Structure 1
Amino acid sequence: MNIPNVLTLIRFFLIPFFILVFFSTTNNSLLYSILIFLTAGFTDILDGYLARKYNLITKWGIVMDPLADKLMLITVLTCLVIKNYIPLWVLLIIIFKELAMIVGGTLLYNKDMVIPSNTFGKLSTFLFYISIFTLTFNEILGKLLIYISVISALIAFVNYLVLYNRKLKN
């Protein structure tokens, strides 16, 4: 297992750690849990950089890296909904989008095809990180940015659907 794949595994392990901190009674638990979320984001950037720079891209990493991102994002959004920071519809839209992408990715993977992440997906993920971080300091602006992030996620989803259809036709 190479370093980028280890960083992806670390992101999987950060998910339960985020939950524990988020629901703890510690002062500033929201801030501390968001710092864990940002750490996960940093490991995502780092593993992608290392994989591309040193040609350490693996089929496992292509599949597991976005899965770790999806699980982390859904976990964070679920926690934010439970504590009423954001409305439930945000979570439901993202869960639907992510489940559709997992199903589509699995179908392609079984046909020995993979659609790697692209600029639209990365931008959407980045916007979620910024909006969730902002939410810790400014709830109104954070919610507005989350709504923009949802729109961005839907645009990324449409883009992936186009790529998915192209792959199936080839």
Structure 2
Amino acid sequence: MGKNTIFIIYSLFSAAALAAPQIIKTNHIKNIEPSKSNNKTSTTLSFTTNKSKKFKSIIAFNSKKPANFANHYILITWGCGTDFHEFAIVNKDDGKVFTDRKIDFVVGVMGNDEPRIEFKTNSHMITINGKINDKTEGKFFYNWNGTNLTLTKTKKLEKKFIEQTRNK
């Protein structure tokens, strides 16, 4: 398979993942008013971090979609096909691409089936469920202020363990 074919297949899977509804189950989210610009698709993107430059193709491809986060932003997630996730936030108004320097990636935790990255169109809140950078495990609540993510709360992850039975 050629590189272009692999990229197209990867992009299609990423697009399907983004089409799935993103639901956040916390009661302290402040809703915000919808923007008239949340469907804007013609902004030139500004890739300023090494990570955004490295994943320029997947970010550019998915940035053409309608805003799905904090009114006029699009939160783009991608991974390698396992329970490994990375993300970027794109401002639909000015094209600035944000990647967090403290959160390189998020991986799942055995026994926890919550979505790894949760967000809503009309909220500034992002919830991360799993291990950040494969080190710190928990349920992390972040507030987006337009330029930075600020950790506002941390909780222990809920885990469900299933007892294995042996065939004797």
Q: TM-score, normalised by structure 2?
A: 0.29
Compare CA radii of gyration and give the structure with the larger one. 2
Indicate the structure whose relative CO is greater, using CA pairs within 8 Å and at least 6 residues apart.
1
Structure with the larger helix share: 1
Q: Hey, which of these two has a bigger chunk of strand by percent?
A: 2
